[in-house]
Structure 1
Amino acid sequence: MTKKELFHIAESYFQQQGWTSFPFQKKTWEALLAGKHGLLNAPTGSGKTYALWVAIVLKYIKENPDYKKKPKKGLKAIWITPLRSLSQEISQASQRFVDGIGLPFTVGIRSGDTSTKERAAQMRSMPDLLITTPESLHLMLGSKDHERIFRDCSTIVVDEWHELLGTKRGVQMELGVSRLLGLNPQIKIWGISATIGNLEQARQVLLGVDESRFRESVLIKANLKKDITVQSIIPESMDKFPWRGHLGLHLLKNVVEIINSSRSTLIFTNTRAQCELWFQSLMSKHPEFAGEVAMHHGSINKETRVWVENAIRNESLKACVCTSSLDLGVDFAPVETIIQVGGPKGVARFLQRAGRSGHRPGETSMIHFLPTHALELIEASALQKAVSSQAVEDRLPYLLCYDVLIQYLCTLAVSGGFYPDNIFPEVKNTFCYASITDEEWKWCLNFIVYGSASLQSYDEYKKVSIDDDGRYYIDSKAIAMRHRLQMGTIVGATTVTVKYQTGGYIGSVEEYFISKLDRGDVFVFAGRTLEFIRLKGMVAQVRNSTKKTNTVSNWQGSRLPLSAQLGELLRDEMENFQTGKKRTPEVKALKEIIQRQQLESIVPQKHQFLIETFKTREGYHAVFYPFEGRFVHEAMSGIIAYRISLLKPITFSIAFNDYGFELLSDQPFDMQEVLDNDLLTPDMLTEDLQSSMNATEMARRKFRDIAVISGLVFTGYPNKAIKTAHLQNSSQLLFEVFRDNEPDNLLFKQAYTETFEQAIEEYRLREALVRIQNQEIVWKACEKPTPFSFPIITDRLREKLSSEKLADRIKRMQLKWE
């Protein structure tokens, strides 16, 4: 068949639906038909699923012109998605297309939600297109039949690649792609990504470091101009001393007005706890919304999530309060309005969420920005600028994750075994392991066979055997079973299942939250008020409660750091607010706060770095404003406190938010001495970090996850999970054994590398200190706290006081200082 005839098949189907194909879709069809690999850059809701699935189908038709007869059995393509919630939509769109052109193809889904019976049926007879997750792909690679399953697969599509890049799931994906290429060198690799700052590098990471493959690939950009309108919800009055969380629910009335004036609304919150709070407030203040407003986040059970997604699609819901679980491209019927509660902390996340509205090409997206405290209006203003300039963040890929590699080698050993000489070139061809040395590779092989130098006396760490032929394999059924239970594991925070005492499943929350509850404590979760009864294994038993509570289930992802790009935009935007050149609603709303700030101190311009000092009854305060995000501020505050303590013995209490950090002491210290001694310098940064941040303790916590992923510690059998405290003790013991006897152990060294690169973001901290060195440092000795310092002070109090006491205390402070 000619290209024209093939395109006609697709375009005829599009015409039946009343659609017209876009140039980027045709370019993708052409590229895949020409045998190229590639990365497709397209915004949410632009038709990217049809760009690649149609191309895969047309390629099959080209090779099998009698396609309407019984097609060849077996897997033709794998579609990887990072979120289970996307699977259903991709499956429906894919099935509709093949049914529409009369091609008897089947589409299947395999994820954590797939039943055991369905998985077994798939292994006997694979669908033509399998939609799966990175973890499920590795589970399949661990089956003895995997070579037969994947042998004839012609294309692998990695959807939402920007979400996987810069995570260990992304590294899993790199290894999975390398194995599929090893089984079938002709397989075509394609990624789909929303806009990120480093698109070219994203393509390189996906395809691996083989130059010839990269030369045979294309980067296709949709270039669909998306008009986004950002409208801030401005409160009627502003506190002159703003504080975090105060404004949010006070603007509920405005949110209700938006919900009532729209056909459908998504209310995005940054955290699951915030999501629960907003849903609970809407339900209690507006019971008439029952059945019309729902909630969606990743810890709610599958049935509820699917019901909500379908209800949004068929527009039977007026509104849904959600988290990033609905960020990604579930192809809904377009939602009319988006509300973003609080600063999204990143440009890419904001654009992704805005794209859920007017979720069709050519339509304008409308996003309302709801500040949770007054200063977030500056963030809103910076985001409007980001929308017009498309200043999107990079996603930095991980390098040399030995724990993921060790898990992968055990997966291959379980699947019938592997020969290192065959696998090493595949691994070395990935971006993550391109720089792995022969010695490091041999260390990993020895580790899975002997269990590293200091563990060779213990048989439990000797997992893999070597036969006379040089094949590495696992022959012990017990070891194989334990590995299969942990296969595909990429550790996040440990979760606990929440169930009614009578057995009904509600969802899952992080263990650290449940560990703080006593019997009889009441908390809000999944829109219900629940009383905690007991923790049995990894199941929290609860019952419904009518008591009032201020405790909302929370998750450790609840503190998103400000991205570097948004930090820079914020520093730019400060100048506009100071000069008053802009006449936007945000500038007008903050006018009194800005005037108050200038009266007490200054609003820093881009070339200035502001430090404020003042005394209250709590002690002596020093507040620094880098505008770099909470992770960087946490590390920077620790370093500055440590360096000051070298000048004189002094103890500090530290608080920080996205805009700055505070050092509080009960004794005075001379800020001029701090400046004269040049303590805001990147010199000796790594050494000072290790001394100031208790890097060993942080690395010890990181090592627990590394130990789980690499299989050093076993997390337990189904319904008999080992308690996190036991895992922590086991991994701490191993950490200390390696520290004392085997400091060159690659997993031990990886714990420190990850601590500095991920937990502390050392590279951003260094860049921030270099920038500060080149700025004019302005030290203001103030008489009392300033509007900019107030949110940081109140964040410190938040840790100590209940929400009612906090509100009362803040009101007294505001009255005193106003």
Structure 2
Amino acid sequence: MGTLPEPFAGWFAGRGWAPRPHQLALLQAARRGESALLVAPTGGGKTLAGFLPSLTDLHAAPRDGLHTLYVSPLKALAVDIARNLTAPVEEMGLPIAIETRTGDTPANRRARQRAAPPNLLLTTPESLALLLTLPDAPTLFGGLGAVVVDEIHALAGTKRGDQLALGLARLGTLAPKARRVGLSATVAHPDALRAFLSPTARPDDVRLVIGAGGAEPMLDMLLPEGRLPWGGHMGLASMPEVYRRIREAKVTIVFVNTRAQAELCFQALWRLNDDNLPIGLHHGSLTVEQRRKVEAAMAAGRLRAVVATASLDLGIDWGAVDQVVQVGAPKGVSRLLQRIGRANHRLDEPSRAVLVPANRFEVIECTAARQAVAAQELDGDPPRPGGLDVLCQHILACAVAGPFLPDDLYAEVTRAQPYAALTRRDFDDALRFVEDGGYALSSYDRFRRLFRDADGRIHVRSNAVARQLRMNLGTIVETPLLKVRLRGGPVLGEVEEWFISTLTPGDCFIFAGQLLRFEGLDAMSAIVSRGGEGEPRVPAYAGSRMPLTTWLAARVRAILHDPKAWKALPAPVQEWLRLQRHASQMPPKDGLLVETFPRGGKWFLVAYCFEGRLAHQTLGMLVTKRMERLGMGPLGYLATDYVLAAWCAFEPTGVERLFEEDILGEELEEWMAESSMLRRSFRNIATIAGLIEKNHPGQEKSGRQMTMNADLIYDVLRRHEPDHILLRATRQEAASGLTDVARISLLLARARAGGIVHRALPRVSPLAVPALIEEGREWVAGGAEDALLAEAAAMVEEVTGGAELFTEVLAEVTEAIPARGDRDRVRRPRRGDGKDGRARDGRYNRFIRSAPKGLTTPR
């Protein structure tokens, strides 16, 4: 095991610390020139372990230029690490320059970094890709000694990870002696991540270092006082209890799963904030300035709580945080452990976390998650093959950096783990597309971006092509966004274009923790003012819902199947499950339970699949298509993380035929050919690959323009070149990501092996009630509300025969009626809301006025 030289040993000793074994192990590996993957619990000093060899190298042999490149999945994490690393460097008096480079870095600083690179540069995959396109990239990275990839599990297996892997392969060419270090607290597939780091895509090239475990986390579950909701996923009923927990703790991070949920929970907490506690809001649609102010305030100890999405999931080290609250089911064990680790960021002290399920199914999921954490089980899928669209972008980026030979670039690309199995045909087709658009598009001059010289070298055709590439570089393709700008004031953030299109002047909505009135559109901005009347809406964001992981879903099925496991559940949930067993039966652990029953002149089918919302959405499309073929008259369907519910005009018979494995054959092909989903997927792939350019000098295309262009090209390619590389990429992505076909296949195979149990019931079962309540949220409107209220109350009375549950669900459906999916309507607190209504309304108005100052907290 390695030892620490001075002044590092003295710095540790001066704080009463001793270096941890995994920190010394990384130091030893670096001295041998070995790459390493460090898996250590949160609070174990992973980041310092990753940088320690670089700091000791630079102390022993000071030099100018870039020595270590640090890559983070989050801008906020890079900034936080730079801040935390600067302190010990200054305390030891080390002449080491540390800087960040992200999309938020000012142009003058970026120019200075090229002219005089810092010793340690902290960046993101996107900024690294941009740096590699520069003509002076060989000079900038030629002396690189190390690359540190933080939170590597969050990147591998994603398109951002594909981009990073290709960047690492390029760095392997520019700086072949640079060692690589990966850092993570939650690794389900260590060999796959070792291969991701490896310069040859072989795991044996990378040493695996396992850090000793820390104190077991203290993980509680918090239920609302009074009734436990049957449906919904916002968790607002528990906000009084969450507020009490915030008040009792020092500093709390309240994690939620969507940005809409963040806005709603923040507003609910504010309405309860009689103590004027400073509470912040943090999510990816807020402006950089607002996020930075919240981060700085948390680091300085000026906030008691912050409501956040995944924007604060990874690595942020705020030592004062002593409690994490997870509102809504976590959807994955690894994700939950990452969030738990934000509390008590010390290895020898337990992290305190509270799970706040939003409904009864989520209670079971939270129970399963607690059991998985106790068993130290991690979940997550192994990295998938790299995307062909990312490869196309990388080929163009390499040409922008300088001429290359196709054979050399193919050899380099296949040294990246996601592309280790890339065929030469796919590479050549990708190169041909980047060169001239491919057979169907080659006659259009706008798609001619590369040319070959007499020696076969590939060159970029013009400076304009290079400029366009740099302006559109990256793999994050979001739904078109519009800035939200206060009239005569600053930009507050961005919301999706479709949401603004549903507003008329005078409508109000909640955003950035504020009540805003929509005034109109101005170019690419939505102009708003503070305040407003009526019930405000909350923007939802496409793709923001997290999928339930396979491993956690299996634990949920196991709990439902085993009555002995129900003892771990709250009494209302136990009673709910006992009612289900009496009225129907429990879903099997390995098979599939399908219930059918009449209700309101329609026939309902509920399948208890437990494979996540995405898989259920695709399965619902396929099942209703087969229902149509079988003459059942499908009318619609709804997918939750737990069940698939469909309704039709005629009684479903031969239910087993709806879940045969051949449904992934003809029905899937037919549906994918007709579905608009493939068009949306093609648009994203075409944007990443460079066929469609979102950003242009001095202008930006609207979402409608981009969609129109993508649809036209999609139709041309399908007609004239159906095997085009981008169509292949679209089908690949649809099968692996957009439709979750793999999980559907596993579900159907499990159903075949374990058996499909069909229960034809005279009325709805207790487990089906949440799905029908959710179904009402989607299609009920106008005069149908009273009918839904009476129907839902009556159906629960039929199931339970008890007045208590009848009254409970009656109240729940009354609350559910105004809601529309994620866009739950909330009302502004009015004067007279309880005995403190007037004071609460006054504080709310003060909050509205003070929010633009930065911290969405009272002055």
TM-score range, shorter chain: over 0.9
Instruction: Give the whole-Å Cα distance in 2 for the aligned partners of 1:256 and 1:400.
Output: 44
Aligned letter for 1:630?
Answer: R
AA aligned opposite 2:30: L
Instruction: Tell me the equivalent position of 1:26.
Output: 24
Is the 8 Å Cα contact of residues 133 and 401 (structure 2) preserved in structure 1?
yes
Cα offsets for 1:521-562 (capped at 9, x unmatched)? 211100011122233343222111232434111111332221
Whole-angstrom distance in 2 between the partners of 1:695 and 1:170? 31
Structure 2 counterpart SS, 1:454: coil
Q: Helix, strand or coil for the counterpart of 1:612?
A: strand
Pair 806,205 (structure 1): closer, same or farther in 2 beyond 3 Å: farther
SS at match of 1:558: coil
2:127 paired residue number = 136
**2:258 is the counterpart of 1:266:** no
Q: Per the alignment, in what secondary structure is the counterpart of residue 429 of structure 1?
A: coil
Counterpart contact for 1:633–1:656, Cα < 8 Å = yes
- How far apart in 2 are the matches of 1:424 and 1:663? 48
User: Is the 1:632–1:765 Cα contact (8 Å) retained in structure 2?
Assistant: yes
Please tell me whether the aligned partners of residues 690 and 696 of structure 1 are also in contact (alpha carbons under 8 angstroms). Answer: no
**Which of residues 598, 603, 607 is equivalent to 1:624?**
607
Indicate if the aligned counterparts of 2:557 and 2:610 stay in contact, CA closer than 8 A.
Answer: yes
CA displacement, residues 469-513 of structure 1 (integer Å, 9 cap, x when unaligned): 433222423222222211234313332221112141101122232
Deviations 1:303-362 (CA, angstroms, capped at 9, x unpaired): 221222222223321111111111111111141111111111111111111111222101
Counterpart selection for 2:655 from 664, 674, 682:
674
What is the CA deviation profile of residues 169-204 of structure 1, one whole-angstrom value per residue up to 9, with x for unaligned ones? 101101110111101110111111232321211111
Please state if 1:382 is matched with 2:368.
Answer: yes
Aligned partner of 2:423 in structure 1 is: 437
The CA distance in 1 between the partners of 2:665 and 2:45, in whole Å, is 47
Q: Which amino acid letter does the alignment assign opposite residue 655 of structure 2?
A: V
Distance in structure 1 (CA, Å) of the matches to 2:400 and 2:43: 40
Aligned 8 A contact 1:639 1:693 in 2:
no
Q: Distance in 2 between matches of 1:88 and 1:326?
A: 12
CA distance in 1 between partners of 2:384 and 2:98 (Å)? 32
Contact kept in structure 1, 2:520 and 2:526, CA below 8 Å: yes
Residue 434 (structure 2) pairs with residue 448 (structure 1): yes
Q: CA 1:415 to 1:130, structure 2 compared with 1: closer, same or farther past 3 Å?
A: same
Distance 1:473 1:59 in 2: 38
| Cα separation, partners in 2 of 1:3 and 1:243, compared to 1, 3 Å | closer
> What is the TM-score with the length of structure 2 in the denominator?
0.89
Q: Is residue 231 from structure 1 mapped to residue 220 from structure 2 by the alignment?
A: yes
Superposition pairs for residues 710-789 of structure 1, below 5 Å?
710-717=689-696, 720-789=699-768
Q: Give the structure 1 partner of residue 185 of structure 2.
A: 194
1:173 to 164, 175, 189: 164
**Which secondary structure state, in structure 2, belongs to the residue aligned with residue 432 of structure 1?**
helix
- Alignment of 1:645 with 2:645, yes or no, is no
Q: Which moved more, 1:467-476 or 1:82-91?
A: 467-476
Distance in 2 between residues matched to 1:512 and 1:344, nearest whole Å: 28
Compare 439-448 and 341-350 and name the one that shifted more: 439-448
Larger CA deviation: 788-797 vs 466-475: 466-475
2:774 is the alignment partner of 1:795: yes
Asked whether the 8 Å contact 1:550–1:803 carries over to 2, the reply is: no
Amino acid at match of 2:232: R
Q: Note if 1:116 corresponds to 2:107.
A: yes
Q: Is 1:244 matched up with 2:232? A: yes
Query: Aligned pair 1:38/2:36, yes or no?
Result: yes
The answer as to whether partners of 2:299 and 2:318 remain within 8 angstroms in 1 is yes
1:589 maps to 572
Question: Identity across aligned pairs (percent)?
Answer: 32
Equivalent residues of 1:271, 1:557 under 8 A apart? no
Distance in 1 (CA, whole Å) between partners of 2:785 and 2:369 is: 30
Matches within 5 A, 1:314-333: 314-333=300-319
Specify which of 390, 407, 414 is matched with residue 404 of structure 1.
390
Contact 1:611–1:780 (CA under 8 A) maintained in structure 2: yes
Where 1:557 maps in the other structure, the secondary structure is coil
Task: Answer with 627-636 or 161-170: which moved more.
Answer: 627-636
1:39 aligned counterpart, secondary structure? strand
Name the CA shift for 1:694/1:549 in 2 (closer, same or farther; >3 Å).
farther
The code of the aligned residue for 1:408 comes to H
SS at match of 2:543: helix
Using the alignment, how far apart are the partners of 1:807 and 1:85 within structure 2?
48
Which residue does the alignment assign to 2:463? 477
1:789 aligned counterpart, secondary structure: helix
Asked if structure 2 preserves the Cα contact closer than 8 Å seen for 1:76 and 1:128, the reply is yes
Q: Distance in 2 between matches of 1:336 and 1:811?
A: 46
- Per mean C-alpha deviation after superposition, the further-off stretch among 307-316 and 115-124 is 307-316
Match for residue 88 of structure 2? 97
Alpha-carbon shift at residue 514 of structure 1 (Å): 2.1
- Tell me the residue number matched to 1:68: none
Determine the structure 1 residue equivalent to 2:494: 508
Name the structure 2 match of 1:49: 47
- Partners in 2 of 1:803 and 1:341 — Cα distance? 31
Normalization by structure 1: what TM-score? 0.93
One-letter identity of the residue aligned with 1:617: G
CA distance in 2, matches of 1:36, 1:726: 50
Of the structure 1 ranges 224-233 and 33-42, higher mean CA displacement relative to structure 2 is found in 224-233
How far does residue 8 in structure 1 lie from its aligned partner after superposition? 4.7
Letter in 2 for 1:40: L
Measured at CA, do residues 462 and 598 of structure 1 come closer, stay the same or move farther in structure 2, by a change above 3 Å?
same
Q: Kindly provide the CA deviation profile for residues 663-704 of structure 1, in whole angstroms up to 9, marking residues without a partner as x.
A: 20122232xx233xx442323523322224556532221110
**Counterpart pick for 2:512 among 526, 546, 568:** 526
Alignment of 1:180-219 (within 5 A): 180-211=171-202, 214-219=203-208
Residue matched to 1:704: 683
- The whole-number CA distance in structure 2 between the counterparts of 1:681 and 1:162 is 35
> Residue 283 in 1 paired to residue 270 in 2?
yes
One-letter identity of the residue aligned with 1:747: L
1:517 to 503, 511, 519: 503
Q: 1:107 aligns with which of 98, 118, 125?
A: 98
Kindly provide the amino acid, as one letter, of the partner of residue 731 in structure 2: Y
1:433-477 deviations in Å (ceiling 9; x for gaps): 222233332222222222211112111100113333433222423
Unmatched segments (≥5 aa) in structure 2: 798-859
Deviation at 1:801, TM superposition (A): 4.3
Q: Contact 2:37–2:182 at 8 Å: present in 1 too?
A: yes
Tell me: CA distance 1:805–1:51, structure 2 relative to 1, closer, same or farther (3 Å).
farther
Name structure 1 gaps, 5 residues minimum.
65-70
Q: Distance in 1 between matches of 2:418 and 2:373?
A: 32
C-alpha distance in structure 1 between counterparts of 2:361 and 2:109, whole Å: 52
Q: Which amino acid aligns with 1:434?
A: A
8 Å CA contact retained: 1:293, 1:318? yes
State the distance in 2 between where 1:805 and 1:536 align.
37
Output the aligned Cα RMSD.
2.3
Instruction: Determine if contact 2:163/2:475 at 8 Å carries over to the other structure.
Output: no
* Whole-angstrom CA distance in 2 between matches of 1:600 and 1:810: 22
Distance 1:210 1:693 in 2: 34
Q: Which moved more, 1:802-811 or 1:437-446?
A: 802-811
**Greater mean alpha carbon deviation, residues 764-773 or residues 633-642:** 633-642
Report the residue type matching 1:483 in the other structure: L
Question: SS state of the match for residue 774, structure 2?
Answer: helix
Tell me which amino acid in the other structure corresponds to 1:161: I
Between stretches 716-725 and 626-635, larger displacement belongs to 716-725
Match of residue 648 from structure 2:
665
How many pairs were matched up? Answer: 797
Deviations 1:586-621 (A, max 9, x none): 342313212222232122242452211111115111
Q: How many angstroms apart in 2 are the aligned matches of 1:451 and 1:546?
A: 50
Distance 2:570 2:2 in 1: 56
1:802 is displaced (CA, Å) by 6.9
Change (3 A) 1:200 1:175: same
Write the deviation string for residues 643-673 of structure 1: whole angstroms up to 9, x where unpaired: 3333336223111211111120122232xx2
CA distance in 2, matches of 1:772, 1:288: 53
